[in-house]
Structure 1
Amino acid sequence: MQSPRNSFAPGREVPAEAPPQRAASRWRIDGLHFEPKLEHEYRLHMRADQRTSTLVCLITALGIWLIFIGLDLTRLDGWAAMLAGDRDVPLAITLRLVTLGVLLIQISMLATQHLPSAYHRLSMLVLALIGATSTFIANMFKLRGLPQADIAQLVIIAAVFLPVGLTFLQSSAVALFVALFTAALGFVMLREPAHLTEHIRLSILLFFAVFVGGVGAWLRERAQRDQFLLRRMLHDHAMSDPLTGIANRRGFEDNVSSALQQARRDGVPIVFAILDVDHFKRYNDYYGHQAGDEALRLIAGTIATAGRRPMDLAGRLGGEEFGLLLYDVAPDKGLARLEKLVAAIEELRIEHAASPTADHITISIGATAFDGRELMPELYRRADAALYASKALGRNRVEFSATTKVEALSMETRRRA
């Protein structure tokens, strides 16, 4: 039998190149970077995963910082120096206190799990302030002939590369800043040849430490990204339907539950629909299961296209039954979109000679609107009742459950069946 120009004939392969290409692009690591959406997920995951280690590091840094503030006041005779008009000592104390304040803000965010989008910038600022302040005070000690620990800068460089919620590039930028600032400030503050010779050696060591720390951080982040990617792929495979590529029942229901919670907070409308391919058992019996699988893949792609907005959801509930959630859509607009979907399935012109409804595959849809309070089981029950009503009223149509009349019709249909 000759198929129309835009028809799908049983046995004809459904184009499947695009989805795998998109999947390959989504799961590829370019250097140390995913595609934008996955990269955002990775950074949120890393920030949450490293929250405890970051908190431990910052509390440790806070304790050390408080000890050094006390030592500075004692060793520099801070109060007397300030009274005598020494401007370096007040500046050093101010830098210590500013860094202390930023440390406390960062610790408070981690303790309360309130992590804004600019959180990584605050982490970078804390580390940069610690490095800059320590450099300034160490040079002050040298100028006054007091004992100082140049190795502290090496420790700070190492600390920058600890798991504190920063990426390799962010950590490298901070470490390089600390090394450059230390080198530049030493040449500005230190004038004696002995100090300069010692400072040059220290600067070389700092840049070497940046290089070694950077290599280690790159290798660690690469391994972290590989592990994240593997877990994410396993999760996606567990939540997706292997035949159609859209969400399976478990993945769809999990996402719907999250969407309902979000809708309650945002106060936005939702349209929830259940879709069923009409007379699909007859299709499988007539054309075979392979043709049935090809038809389902094509239908699933059309349904997924109908849920094209970011918060819309589409999933295969099982067999020839699909679910669709339209987020932030009023009932009248949702009904119009579902009616277009019914027409779009018809336009596929998938031949169905065994159907008493039409000579091609059609779908029936039962839909309902979220009332802002109910849970998914109640929403599903009303959409399912509307689906039975849609079938009872002739199929190849949308029935919207706005009243209990639809549910009564559904119950009567089931009773007769």
Structure 2
Amino acid sequence: MQSLEHQSAEDFRDTPYGRQLLQGFRFLFFVPELEREFRRYLNHQARLAQRLGACLLMLVVAGYLYVERHLFAQSDPAWLLELTLLRLLEMLPGLGILAMSLFHKRVRIIANRLFPVLLVLVGIIAARIDIQYEMLQPEMSFRYGAGLLIVCSFFFLGITFWRALISAALIVLIDVLMAAMILSPFEMKVHWISVSYYLLLLVIGATSRYVHEYSQREQFLVRKLLGWVAQHDALTGLANRRSFDTALNQTLLQARRDRQPLALLLLDLDNFKAYNDNLGHPAGDALIRDFGALLDGFSRRPMDLAARVGGEEFAVLLLNCDAASAQAIAGQILSTLAERAIPHPASAQGNCVTTTIGVAMWQPGQTAEQLYQAADAALYRAKQAGKNGYALSPALSAE
């Protein structure tokens, strides 16, 4: 599987996912845009684990408290009261995590940033209880709660490796500082045994989490890359026919809802077969890539789309673009291609590569298929007129 993934990345090095796979991520960081996307993915994947972790925290702490109230009911009322308050405080972050995981997406995004803080707070409370148990030395006690929190920090909240590591390290550090202030020198020597236990748990948890997150990130990139491949043309990086058909339907619905004009340009590279036959398929592929990049420059707005819909056939979808603007863009595409002056030894229109364009505007009541047919009819008219130009759909020409 590893070789297949690297082969996919090599084939698609022009995509952000392919580039990241090739660059690697030893330190568990992507480029900023991908890192944000991965964290959203991680937060979504971890929602069930967050709820489970919160429920387990409340259940375990409630169980501790129930037993402790029976054990210490007669021995030390003051410690029992303090212990009860600490246990209730320990449960509150779990309740908060559970509640926030059920809220709206925006609340969950804020909550995910707070999870490490809540985790450290619970760890501080657990460390305080552990230290008090060391001082009192009861016959039976529930110690090492901080150790459990260290382990949980790496696996339940869906936070990244580095946030989990920092949270766990802070729990250990604060535990040591609290113990140094509260315990006697002799008790502190004994407490170092607990600290060594915490550090061992931190190393084990961090190692496991690193391996797990590395695998998660790799799977994320491969899954995204496969999704990109399914929606894009591998040669040009533009949307493929399947993606274009979906976008055309969705954009038409938006144009209808917002009462905005919608233009569709269909383009065909003139005499492409002759270009391939004379210069070879590698040259033909290079021409397809260059022309795709040219069209991509004319579809920079969020709702614009450039697509490769056939061998040498392309489409440009322009929302909120009226007929005059659509014709101006068609003219600009023709002039830009002419300026590049790509040699074509077998062109009937001259010595350079040219294109023919059909322009259609969406009409009320028209379906996506009918709009495409109108643009195709305009493209046919432009070819009949001698290629290397553009023509309007019959409906526009009659106006």
Q: TM-score, normalised by structure 1?
A: 0.74
Residues 9-408 of structure 1: matches in 2 within 5 Å? 20=13, 25-27=19-21, 28-31=23-26, 32-68=28-64, 88=82, 92=86, 95-96=89-90, 98-109=92-103, 116-143=108-135, 146=138, 147-188=140-181, 190-254=182-246, 271-284=263-276, 289-309=281-301, 312-326=304-318, 333=325, 335-352=327-344, 354-368=346-360, 376-377=368-369, 379-391=371-383, 395-399=387-391, 405-406=395-396
Distance change (3 Å), C-alpha of 1:379 and 1:192: farther
- Answer yes or no: is the 8 Å Cα contact 1:316–1:322 preserved in 2: yes
> What's the offset of the Cα at 1:369?
5.6
* Alignment size in residue pairs: 383
**CA-to-aligned-CA distance 1:63-111 (integer Å, 9 cap, x gap):** 334444556666676xx97xx99995686366336424422323324xx
Q: How far apart in 2 are the matches of 1:127 and 1:151?
A: 15
Q: How far apart in 2 are the matches of 1:157 and 1:306?
A: 53
> What's the offset of the Cα at 1:36?
2.6
> 282-291 or 128-137: which moved more?
282-291
Two-structure CA RMSD over aligned residues (Å):
4.1
Q: How far apart in 2 are the matches of 1:198 and 1:95?
A: 27
Letter of the structure 1 residue corresponding to residue 178 of structure 2: L
Say which SS state the counterpart of residue 108 (structure 1) adopts.
coil
Letter of the structure 2 residue corresponding to residue 216 of structure 1: S
Say which SS state the counterpart of residue 158 (structure 2) adopts.
coil
Letter of the structure 1 residue corresponding to residue 57 of structure 2: A
- Unmatched 5+ stretches in structure 1: 1-18, 410-417
> What's the offset of the Cα at 1:309?
4.8
Q: How far apart in 2 are the matches of 1:67 and 1:329?
A: 65
Q: How far apart in 1 are the matches of 2:55 and 2:256?
A: 38
Distance change (3 Å), C-alpha of 1:279 and 1:126: same
- Answer yes or no: is the 8 Å Cα contact 2:276–2:283 preserved in 1: yes
Q: How far apart in 1 are the matches of 2:188 and 2:332?
A: 77
| RCO comparison, higher one (Cα < 8 Å, 6+) | 1
> What's the offset of the Cα at 1:137?
3.3
> What's the offset of the Cα at 1:279?
3.6
Distance change (3 Å), C-alpha of 1:297 and 1:166: same
- Unmatched 5+ stretches in structure 2: 1-11
Q: Using the aligned pairs only, state the percent identity.
A: 27
> 235-244 or 261-270: which moved more?
261-270
Say which SS state the counterpart of residue 123 (structure 1) adopts.
helix
- Answer yes or no: is the 8 Å Cα contact 1:263–1:372 preserved in 2: no
**CA-to-aligned-CA distance 1:204-246 (integer Å, 9 cap, x gap):** 2212321221122112212222222333333334443343343
- Answer yes or no: is the 8 Å Cα contact 2:263–2:318 preserved in 1: yes
Letter of the structure 2 residue corresponding to residue 156 of structure 1: L
**CA-to-aligned-CA distance 1:163-200 (integer Å, 9 cap, x gap):** 53211111111111111122222222x23445323322
> What's the offset of the Cα at 1:340?
1.8
Q: TM-score, normalised by structure 2?
A: 0.77
> What's the offset of the Cα at 1:298?
1.9
Letter of the structure 2 residue corresponding to residue 133 of structure 1: I
- Answer yes or no: is the 8 Å Cα contact 2:55–2:94 preserved in 1: no
> What's the offset of the Cα at 1:262?
8.0
**CA-to-aligned-CA distance 1:132-179 (integer Å, 9 cap, x gap):** 222233334555555432222211111111153211111111111111
